[in-house]
Structure 1
Amino acid sequence: MNRVMDELRGKYPDAEARLIDLAEQHMQFADGRGYLEYEGDTGDVARALMEADAIIIGTPIFQASIPGALKNVFDLLPVNAFQDKVVGIVVTAGSPKHYLVAEQQLRPILAYMKAQVVQSYVFIEAKDVYRGELVNDDAALRIERLVEDTVTLTRAYSQMREEREAQYAF
């Protein structure tokens, strides 16, 4: 995700971006309350996601599934949390056998939450990373394309939304 942030800041310096690392947050488990009722890190993360125009989710795959921490974040939010938001996906996994986790688990959740998901997600295997650095040039190019597509789609959907809202006289 650091590579994603570097790419975003380098090509789109005017874009407001924030990296949220769930490992650094003290998150409460979702208990059915509205997201605005949570305080501390949990409330901050939920509100940041609800206020964002676009989101790029970076997640590892553990035991052939998305991590529970990520699922918990989804559980904190309302069903339509990602309506009118563009969502890109970056997945890392230890095995090429896990490439479909994003397709079969993450995409359906995002679609249910009404996200506009960027068509191509980035799948990175453990062999593509050495000592925390991305060493696969193809993966770097796919990240570059994901960032470009996310920004382009966000701008397009924003313009479409503005045109739609302009049709109403209030």
Structure 2
Amino acid sequence: MKIVGLSGSIVGSKTKTAMSYTVKSLKEKYPDAEVTLIDLADYDIQFSDGRNYTEYEGDTGYITQTIMEADAIIIGTPIFQASIPATLKNIFDLLPVNAFLDKVVSILVTAGSAKHYLIAEQQLKPILAYMKAQMVQTYVFIEEEDFYRKEITSDDVLFRIERLVEDTVVLTETYAKIREEKEAEYDF
């Protein structure tokens, strides 16, 4: 199973910190899974210009190819100005409409205010649904007060991250079994 953790911002540390905890949990609990963390701050990504994702080279080509080959994706995003970052939206724009078909996608959100809780529901989930993702319905929402010096200090948040990891893997395995059974029905 290939799982990609996508830290969807090029600024700040909270989303990267939360995604690091998430990837650590994945690697500890599911050592057989191939886990890749993509932190957009570490790459030079082109703006989407309408080309097929296979035509991009360099960092942009690597990121799009890695996402397309994944079985599951955990998207970490901060909330800026009551919206997802443009860098994350650009990743979605680089991919085809059905990029998340047969993929499980889960969400982790960092925000400075509890007032941004519904941004994932109102902005991110509709994009993922349009791109055919099988979504883990609950997501982890982490506020400013849950961090101290680039560490997560809330045991509740750590528990919710572990649960998100487990739900992502279980849902991915479940959908894979369902697809195998469906394909076996065709008998050719």
Q: Same fold (TM over 0.5)?
A: yes
Q: Secondary structure at the match of 1:161?
A: helix
Picking from 52, 56, 59, the partner of 2:74 is: 56
Distance in 1 between residues matched to 2:68 and 2:114, nearest whole Å: 32
1:105-116 equivalence runs, <5 A: 105-116=123-134
One-letter identity of the residue aligned with 1:77? L
1:99-138 equivalence runs, <5 A: 99-138=117-156
Q: Counterpart in 2 of 1:45? A: 63
1:1-170 equivalence runs, <5 A: 1-170=19-188
Q: Secondary structure at the match of 1:89?
A: strand
More strand by share: 2
Give TM-score, length-normalised by structure 2. 0.89
Flag structure 1 segments of 5+ consecutive residues without an equivalent.
none
Q: Secondary structure at the match of 1:103?
A: helix
Runs of 4+ in 1 over 2 A off after TM superposition: none
Give TM-score, length-normalised by structure 1. 0.99
Residues 15-62 of structure 1: CA deviation (Å, up to 9, x unaligned): 110000001110000000000000000011001111100000001111
Q: Secondary structure at the match of 2:161?
A: helix
Q: Counterpart in 1 of 2:11? A: none
Number of aligned residues:
170
Distance in 2 between residues matched to 1:24 and 1:64, nearest whole Å: 24
Distance in 2 between residues matched to 1:138 and 1:119, nearest whole Å: 18
CA RMSD of aligned residues (A): 0.6
Distance in 2 between residues matched to 1:164 and 1:129, nearest whole Å: 45
Distance in 2 between residues matched to 1:162 and 1:22, nearest whole Å: 34
Flag structure 2 segments of 5+ consecutive residues without an equivalent.
1-18
Identity in percent = 69
How far 1:145 sits from its partner (Å)?
Answer: 0.4
Distance in 2 between residues matched to 1:142 and 1:82, nearest whole Å: 24
